[in-house]
Structure 1
Amino acid sequence: MTDSLALAYARKLIACESITPATGAVFDALEEMLTPLGFAVDRFLSGEDDQNPAHGAPVENLFAIRKSSGRHFAFAGHLDVVPPGDGWGSDPFVPEIRGDLLHGRGAVDMKGSIAAFVAALHSIPEDAGTISLIITGDEEGPAIYGTRALIDHMHARQSVPDFCLVGEPTSVHRLGDMMKIGRRGSVNMWISVAGTQGHVAYPHLADNPIPRLIKILAEIEAIHLDDGTDWFQPSNIEITDMQVGNKATNVIPAKAEARLSIRFNDLQQGDALVERLRTLIEAGGGTLTAMISGEAFLTPPGELSAAISEAVEAVTGIQPEASTTGGTSDARFLTRVCPVVEFGLCNATMHKLDEAVALADLEALTEIYRRVALKILG
């Protein structure tokens, strides 16, 4: 039996090992799919001069566009994947069909969605409107040189889309039951409290930082940020780590540290949260380092979400829930450019061993993407 276009494309992409940050072969494969469809493909590396290994550089990015008159509709996604880990039932980079499932790292997050969109392009006339693909090799990593660099590239080319669909795996129990119209913001914080090391029998000659850190964390734990909104759950602060590293039983340590993660809704701003906690932490004798991964964003229900809902119902018979739950995605950057909604495959196996997509879902998603594109392009 001959593979469908979506299945054939998914196989080709999965077969390219592309652990974040991804470069090379997987982008070659996508370019080979798009060029015969009339797309001009730009590929470029970002962060080549960055020597900080934590930044995951360099990163390869791809922007492909097929221009026409009328509206500009974009599809955004990533070709990088998380490391597969040990214990798979088959090679994670050798796509394998078992029953009605296609297994392989990236099958749902998110090479399967990219394959479905490219397959849908075969049924979208070139004169329907402008279509582009915004594809990075750094969504699963630090995301410093990925989609943000692509946005700069689009602005430089004066190729900013009117609407953007991000193909993240948003469905939960079955294909089509959820789309994301927003995401909470995210900030990570590192607290350090310095003391003076000494012998526990002579505490007057030392300064134990642990009680001060505990007091700081207790004050943070008592903070109530908000009660949520119509579209967002309440913002929350979570203490994710606390360490001293003291291996001796008779030594007062010289330093105590903790880590926080805050997921916040659109009632909050990352900078304001950092400064609020910095004031509290410094008053308690500590120092703070923070990294804001992204601000909260919301695309209120409108034309794009309506087009997705209509297409999903036509293909699956259900209406997707409009949600803002879950972690961050590159939509947090793209929302600065145009209205953005995320919709894609079932997320039950993403980042897990034996990640897999249902063959029927690949075909259904192809038809959903085709209908959404045609509806938006008008």
Structure 2
Amino acid sequence: MKEHSPVPTDIDPVQLTADLIRCPSVTPEEGGALVLLQKLLADAGFDCHRVDRNGTPNLFARWGRKGANRTFGFNGHTDVVPVGDADAWTCDPFGGEISDGWLWGRGATDMKSGVAAFVAAAVDFVRETPPDGAILLTITGDEEGPGKDGTLALLDWMAERGEAMSVCLVGEPTCPERMGEMMKIGRRGSMSVTFTAEGVQGHSAYPHRAKNPLHALVRVMDRLASEPLDEGTEHFDASTLAITTIDTGNTATNVIPARAIARVNIRFNDAHTSETLTARLREHALAIQAETGVNFALDVVVSGESFLTPPGDFVRMVAVSVEAETGVTPVLSTSGGTSDARFVKDHCPVVEFGLVGKTMHQVDERVEVAQIGQLKAIYSRILRDYFA
């Protein structure tokens, strides 16, 4: 039987957040954050495993029996984006300082506070009211990076060992302005596409002897920018397509280049998949190719598909807990960018709820101290209601 150190009574999520901020865990560095959490969770009786893959640090922790009928999961990350100009910060970005009711530092909002809140809620809950079921925590060090060896590695590892979550809550910051106003029940898909147009180089005074890839490329871009993808769906706003660059590298004013590239980024709702959108883009490119003789190649990178967790018992339970602790009825949103929920959704129903995210990734990232305690209270209530 394992020997564990005594676990503090009522873990303070503010202090835990400050301790995590002091771990310089800029992606892909672990920085001591997962080591700290593993010790705390192991001392509380959680079965912990480091699930590192290709140098990416990850932590799996479970309290309760593997394969329990009811297993509540939390997901989050301890890695953070770079601090930028450290001299521009009011406080040490890795100091975890508390001043005027705010906790300062990189990761204060995104999302060491969320991890601290759900770890504190989970540890206190299993100690005070051991549930008939299991609680499972998946914490990655690669959410701000490529994402290929973070939560995906944890889910792969779990599948190999028969570990599973019945439902999962991702603790990303979700509230735009005030605590409790928004939770995420889905996310738009995201994909980036590079169009390469290959023509024939020539003198600009003799354009008939060349095939200008720019003329063809801008015609494709104009069609894409002028034609709406959709008008939105029941739970999603309209999909968007943004042209992010058109370039040839051509410095001469009298030369028609042989090649040109353009890139677009698409954020899409549940009216599409990356496959249907890719087919649509290829159709436009091939039509212009047939008209101009300029050849097109497309390179597609998909960051995630759109998904929705339909409003039901799980969504209602989280929303009721948020309202009970904040007095605010959360909007059920699918806005924003991507998160690791895009991976979890293939494993089990997933929703996201966390703090106000106004300062995330900024210089002087900070969080109101009171919000961290409030978030722990929300997560604690969710656990009580789920296992009631």
TM-score by length of 2: 0.91
CA contact (8 A) 2:184 2:334 kept: yes
Structure 1 runs (4+) greater than 6 angstroms displaced: none
TM-fit CA distance, 1:24: 5.0
Matched with 2:84 is 85
Offset of residue 280 of structure 1 = 1.9
- C-alpha distance in 1 between matches for 2:180 and 2:265: 30
Shift of 1:353: 0.9
Q: 3-state DSSP class of the match of 1:84?
A: coil
Which segments of 5 or more consecutive residues in structure 1 lack a partner in the other structure?
A: 49-57
**Correspondence for 1:155:** 159
CA 1:97–1:24: 2 relative to 1, 3 Å: closer
Moved more, 26-35 or 243-252: 243-252
1:46-61 equivalent positions in 2, closer than 5 A: 46=53, 48=54, 58-61=55-58
The range that moved more, 26-35 or 201-210, is 201-210
Partner of 1:229: 233
In structure 2, the residue matched to 1:371 is 381
2:4 — aligned with what? none
Segments of structure 2 that go 5 or more residues without pairing to the other structure are: 1-9, 289-294
1:244 maps to 2:248: yes
Displacement of 1:71 in angstroms is 1.2
- The one-letter amino acid paired with 2:113 is G
Identity %: 47
Task: Note if contact 2:51-2:154 (Cα within 8 Å) is conserved in structure 1.
Answer: no
SS at match of 1:273: helix
Q: Tell me how far apart the structure 2 counterparts of residues 321 and 335 of structure 1 sit (CA, whole Å).
A: 20
How far is 1:78 from its partner?
0.9
Residue in 2 aligned with 1:124?
A: 125
Structure 1 residue 27 displacement after superposition: 1.2
1:117-155 superposed Cα distances (whole Å, 9 cap, x missing partner):
111124313531300111111111111111111111111
- How far apart in 2 are the matches of 1:30 and 1:355? 22
Q: Helix, strand or coil: the match of 2:152? A: helix
- 1:179–1:323 Cα contact (<8 Å) kept: yes
- Matches of residues 296-315 of structure 1 in structure 2 within 5 Å? 296-315=306-325
CA shift for structure 1 position 88: 1.4
Q: How far apart are 1:241 and its partner, in Å?
A: 1.2
- Does the 8 Å CA contact 1:171/1:178 hold for their aligned counterparts? yes
Give the Å deviation of 1:170.
0.2
**8 Å Cα contact 2:13-2:117 kept in structure 1:** yes
* Cα deviation, residue 4, structure 1: 6.6
1:293 corresponds, among 298, 303, 310, to: 303
Does residue 1:64 correspond to 2:65, yes or no? no
CA distance in 1, matches of 2:39, 2:176: 32
Name whichever of 293-302 and 189-198 sits farther off. Answer: 189-198
Classify the secondary structure of the residue corresponding to 2:52: strand
Return the TM-score normalized by structure 1. 0.93
- Aligned counterparts of 1:252 and 1:208: Cα–Cα separation in 2: 6
- SS of match in other structure, 2:200: coil
AA partner of residue 276 (structure 1) = R
Which position in structure 2 is the counterpart of 1:210?
A: 214
For 1:279-358, what aligned pairs fall within 5 Å after superposition? 279-284=283-288, 285-358=295-368
For residues 141-199 of structure 1, the C-alpha deviation after alignment (integer angstroms, 9 at most, x for no partner) is 11111111111111122111111000000011111110000011111100111123333
Please point out which of 11, 35, 51 is paired with 1:44. 51
Indicate the larger mover: 215-224 or 188-197: 215-224
What residue is the counterpart of 1:54 in the other structure? none
RMSD, aligned α-carbons: 1.6
1:55 maps to none
How many angstroms apart in 2 are the aligned matches of 1:195 and 1:24? 49
- For residues 339 and 121 of structure 1, what CA distance do their matches in structure 2 show? 19
Which of 97-106 and 301-310 deviates more? 301-310
Bigger Cα displacement from structure 2, 196-205 vs 122-131: 196-205
Q: How many residues align?
A: 366
CA deviation after TM superposition for structure 1 residue 61, in Å: 1.3
